[in-house]
Amino acid sequence: MSIVREYDNFLELRKQETSNFLWISKKWNPQIAFKQGSTRPSPQYHKDAVLNSPKIQDLLEQISLKTNVPKVELEHQVKDILDEIGYEKKLKVIRWLGLILTKICLTVLSGIYVNVEQVEQIKNQMGNCPVIFVPTHRSYGDFIMMSYLSFQYDIEIPAIAAGMDFFGMWGMGTLLRDTGAFFMRRSYNDDSLYWTTFKQYIYQLVSKGDLPIEFFIEGTRSRSNKSLTPKYGLLTMVLKPFFFSQVPDIQFVPIGFSYDRILEESLFAFELLGVPKPKETTSGFFKSMKILKENFGNIYIHMDKPISAKEFFGSKLDRSVHNLTPLHKQEVTEDEKTLLPPLAYEILNRQQKVLVTTVFNLVSLVLNNNLAYETELLSMEELACDVKWIREILRSLGGFTHTTNIERSIDDCLKTHKNLVYLNRKGKLKLVRNPISQGEINHKKLKGHYLSDDTMTYSVPFVTLQIYINPILHYFIDIDIILVILDTRPMNEDELFESYCFLRCLFSREFITFAPKDKTAFNAAMNDAISLNLVNLNNGKYQLANNKKLGMLIVNTFYTFYVSFFATLLILERLPSVVDEKSILANVQKLLEDAIVDKHKEFIHPYSLNLDTLANCLNSLVDEKVLQKTRRDNVNAYEINKIKLKDVKDNFARYMTRCSIEERCQIINKIHLQNKL
């Protein structure tokens, strides 16, 4: 499958200008998303409309009767909530921030590449219904770049859903609000007044607003640099006016952001290993400005074709059910809620398909395999040869890499990542290891086990490298599962599919899929595996074929995830039937740390320690009814079904014959397992 894409580097235009100030001061008549009339609605108009809506007024009367609090006082509370939530739009602030951002980008970036033709098509189609921008979220740079792109191409700056982390940053919260951010609390603590006000605010923006709206379907930044399980809260709120026939349609625009180098790469590596995330502060922001001395390569932004809600739902949606009673007394129905997951996963799948694969993604894949599983280090010539080879493999699977000269691009990306990869005196590639001293850490804030300074020093470079491999793993996961299964023995299609479904369900949180038992995805992976000479059919049974090099690369790349899952299953087997989450994570990390330190037995990839994968394993086991999750006193706890756990562990163990951690686990005395419950 050959994919041709064209991107324009709009940062190049800024480099060629004699004055960036003239550009940022341009006359700006942006295209709005949904034309509402001759007068454009203001931010204050939306707040007033929410306060005076029948939904809020009815709620205030109910609360007033129940609590004996005067309605006027409750209205003041709603006004305060709306002032906390609501966006503003100040063009002077937008222009000055745009100028500052231009200067920063010209300093730290080589280019910002955008598929301009598609952007212009989307802009030309806007005006008739709400437009929702749904970008990937793998850096704080995502929403900043989205606004920057909108200004560049004369699209109205979107109203952007932002977390309260930014709201509390002195000065920064106000700046973000003035450029279109509206704020939402992550938890509402059963505060019906806040919850209803926020939902009504979204309803107002979608049904009566004219701005595009931007939110992240995953709900948070992905520290692992790959897609997360979607959240349905904001999606439900955004779709409510469509379900209620208050708008003719809603256009969802999936957007993929790819970074040569992620701004937060070091922070993500530490967080994945369990070092607590520092609180966002303005002083912390200014301290981070030291990055202005570094180079971060290119950013690639790809807007996909919009998904029409009307077309996507089609005949499955019956909007007439809302015709019988006043709309303000209704909520989204259970039948309508069942339509949300397919749309959410379609958006995520489209995001993945349009992401540009960077050359460093390919370099990381090849280098990781070499450092972890091969005896001889790579030279630059060998690296370039393997990168060209894997690029063609990825292209056949639908991936796209933006480069015209592999050798030059490799040189560029190694300069960009000189903090991570270097050439030793013999001209061989190695990882940079800087001694890490964690200093004083509040162990109560740790989500898992306290990893030693030596373990952190050894692990952080591997984890950082893996962060750049993760964005391309969705191309290979289904093929990997087939290879792992067939490595045990040849088998017919029915047996193979049954085993595939078992593993795909377990990995459905780690490598997102809406339908882990989908025969279509299985068949596609089988066709790819056969065309790549990884699998063939012999006497009615499928078996591994002759492409050993690619097969080993794929299996080695995913092995760290299998180790994480296996270690979790082994620890759960030895813990009490009811246990808190921190005890599970701490014990799994301790087991893996001991295995990593003992390098003589086998190589255990340090990424196996990462808490995101361990949490994904637990959530998958909840999906499979092996665990039952509860929460009390702000602590997650699990009840373990030991019979189902044994079945899953024994089945999974068939694919872990090369792994020695079970032997290590056998000698762990149960009294040494930490249980914090």
DSSP string covering 495-555: HHHHHHHHHHHHTTTTTT-S-TT-HHHHHHHHHHHHHTTSEEEETTEEEE-S-HHHHHHHH
> Is residue 437 assigned to a domain?
no
Distance CA 98, CA 104 (A): 10
* Residue 173, domain member (yes or no): yes
Please check whether residues 331 and 386 belong to one and the same domain.
no
Q: pLDDT at position 373, please?
A: 86
Domain boundary residue among 432, 459, 492? 432
Tell me if 528 is assigned to some domain.
Answer: no
Instruction: Find all residues with CB under 8 Å of 72, minimum gap 6, and list them.
Output: none
Is residue 161 one of the residues assigned to a domain? yes
> Looking at the structure, do residues 305 and 388 belong to the same domain, yes or no?
no
Looking at the structure, do residues 342 and 369 belong to the same domain, yes or no?
no
Q: Are residues 186 and 227 in the same domain?
A: yes
Are 305 and 370 within one domain?
no
In terms of Cβ atoms closer than 10 Å to its own Cβ (0-12, 13-18, 19+), residue 538 is exposed
330 and 368 share a domain? no
Q: Count up the domains in the chain and report the number.
A: 2
In a domain, 271, yes or no: no
- Rounded Cα–Cα distance for residues 32 and 209 (Å): 10
Based on the domain organization, do 344 and 380 belong to the same domain? Answer: no
Domain endpoint, select from 375, 398, 432: 432
Element (H, E) at 9: strand 8-9
Cβ contact 309:242 at 8 Å: yes
pLDDT value, residue 165: 76
What is the reported pLDDT for 170?
A: 62
User: Can you read off the two tokens belonging to residue 660?
Assistant: 């020695």
pLDDT digits (tens, 9 = 90+) for 76-89: 999 999 999 999 99
Tell me what pLDDT residue 632 has: 85
Is 230 found in the same domain as 209?
Answer: yes
- The full DSSP string for 138-192 is SSTHHHHHHHHHHHHTTBPPPEEEEEHHHHTSTTHHHHHHHBTEEEE-S--TT-H
* SS3 (DSSP) at 221: coil
Residues 108 and 247 occupy one common structural domain: yes
Distance CA 138, CA 226 (A): 8
CATH classification of the domain holding 194? 3.40.1130
Are both 51 and 145 inside the same structural domain?
A: yes
Look at residue 659 and tell me if it is in a domain: no
Same domain, yes or no: 177 and 59: yes
Each residue of 189-208: pLDDT tens digit?
A: 678 999 999 999 999 999 99
In order of 374, 515, 519, 551, the CA distances from 500 in angstroms are: 28, 12, 10, 17
Domain boundaries, position 424: 360-432
Q: Which of 417, 432, 447 is the last residue of a domain?
A: 432
Domain assignment present for 546:
no
- Claim to verify: residue 302 and residue 408 sit in the same structural domain: no
pLDDT along the chain (677 residues), means of 10: 82 93 94 94 98 98 96 97 96 95 95 97 97 96 93 97 77 88 83 95 98 96 96 97 98 98 94 80 54 89 98 95 92 96 98 98 97 90 98 97 96 97 95 91 86 96 98 98 98 98 98 93 98 97 97 97 98 96 96 89 93 98 97 91 98 91 66 48
pLDDT of residue 271: 95
Hey, what's the torsion of the CAs at 138, 260, 7, 391, to 10 degrees? -110
Residue 455 lies in a domain: no
Write down the pLDDT at residue 670.
46
